[in-house]
Amino acid sequence: MDYRTEAPDILREFLTYHETIQGHSRKTVDEYFLDLRNFFRYIKLEKGRVPRAMEFEQISIDDVDLDLARSVGLSDVYAYMSYLSRDRAKHANSPDTAYGLEPAARARKIAAIRSFYKYLTNKAKLITENPMQDLDSPRLKKTLPRYLSLDESIQLLESVDEPNGARDYCILVLFLNCGLRISELVGLNLSDVRGEQLRVLGKGNKERIIYLNDACQQAIETWLAERSHQAAADRNALFLTRRHTRMTTDAVHYMVKQRLKKAGLDASLYSSHKLRHTAATLMLQNGVDVRTLQEVLGHEHLNTTQIYTHVDNENLRSAARATPLSRVKTKKREKKQTPD
């Protein structure tokens, strides 16, 4: 799939803007394309541009232009959201799929539509008023992040053995100490290790520097000593597979699950991303302020980081103990006898 050849002009220009000017990753731009392709297939169907009996996935968007984009209003988008929540297959290619996308998936599609119309209005100046100005996103259920305790983290690290012990231990140490995203970890190159500093390329190709503690430096040093004896197909990659190619996200996901099982932890509850949550939670519990944590994790917005402040907050416990009623004991009540 390549939007540069498959997208109509009006979408291609928007996607190119995001990739070249906004600096969004290829993966993000590809997801925008898929979301907008799906949306305009629905719009064409609802506006009678294609036969009702036509297979949804077969609807072409080659003819999507400014006139069609202008014809879309808020009511069309909300009707599309209703379709997604009730009738859209969760897994389009599976015969046994369930129907109805979760709020988070619908919110991502709303974000793509909102961004597209904002571009048409503010950047391309192709429309004068943004019809999606007041577009609301689905209400998302807020859930607290799951994380390992300190003892469980130590248990995980102490259980690492051969094969690939030095590599896997180093990856787990970086996850648990630095809170890296899995995409950031697999993208690390040898040149990104600079003594006590680690250069990380985060979302939107934004660079940040993470300082490595003694445990991280020692784990990297041990792995690099072993890596130096391996023939690398990718000479730049920090972490290599057994085939000497760069570690992929799937390979890291699998490794983490296997190491969790080996440590006697429930691999169905935890993942590489949960190790990032663990790092964030442990930092906050041990005195790191939320602004600093925002920099470490590479969050663009502070409210993304603030979810961790609700995980295990001693100040909240202190507040609960501070009320004078906290010391009032419940009196035992005698049951009154009632006649039979």
- 3-state secondary structure at position 183: helix
Annotated catalytic residue: which of 3, 32, 119, 308?
308
Annotated catalytic residue: which of 49, 146, 203, 257?
203
Annotated catalytic residue: which of 194, 276, 291, 335?
276
Is 181 among the catalytic positions? yes
Distance, C-alpha 323 to centroid of its chain = 39
The beta strand positions in 167-302, using DSSP E, are 193-194, 197-201, 207-211
Annotated catalytic residue: which of 12, 114, 146, 273?
273
The predicted structure's pLDDT at residue 295 = 86
In tens, the pLDDT along 303-327 reads 777 777 666 555 555 666 666 665 6
Annotated catalytic residue: which of 88, 181, 227, 277?
181
The predicted structure's pLDDT at residue 219 = 95
Is 308 among the catalytic positions? yes
Is 276 among the catalytic positions? yes
The predicted structure's pLDDT at residue 324 = 67
Strand-pairing partners, residue 208, are 200
The predicted structure's pLDDT at residue 94 = 44
Annotated catalytic residue: which of 299, 321, 333, 336?
299
The C-alpha angle with vertex 206 and arms to 195 and 38, in degrees rounded to 5, equals 140
Residue 233 CA to residue 299 CA, distance in Å, equals 33
Sheet strands side by side (includes 207-211): 193-194, 197-201, 207-211
| pLDDT per residue rounded down to tens, the chain (340 residues) | 788 888 999 999 999 999 888 888 888 899 999 999 999 999 999 999 999 889 888 999 999 999 999 999 999 999 999 888 876 655 554 444 556 777 888 888 999 999 999 999 999 999 999 999 888 876 766 666 788 989 999 999 999 998 999 999 999 999 999 999 999 999 999 999 998 999 999 887 789 999 999 999 999 999 999 999 888 888 899 999 988 899 999 999 999 999 999 999 988 888 888 999 999 888 888 888 888 888 888 887 777 777 776 665 555 556 666 666 656 665 555 555 555 5
Residues 6+ apart with CB under 8 A from 97: 89, 90, 91
In tens, the pLDDT along 15-64 reads 999 988 888 888 889 999 999 999 999 999 999 999 988 988 899 999 99
Query: What is the chain's Cα-based Rg?
Result: 26
The predicted structure's pLDDT at residue 95 = 47
Strand-pairing partners, residue 198, are 193, 210
Buried b (16+ CB within 10 A) or exposed e, 229-244: eeeeeeeebbbbbeee
The predicted structure's pLDDT at residue 262 = 94
**Nearest CA among 320, 288, 294 for reference residue 306:** 294
Is 88 among the catalytic positions? no
Predicted TM-score of the model (pTM): 0.64
Encoded tokens for 292: 């600093």
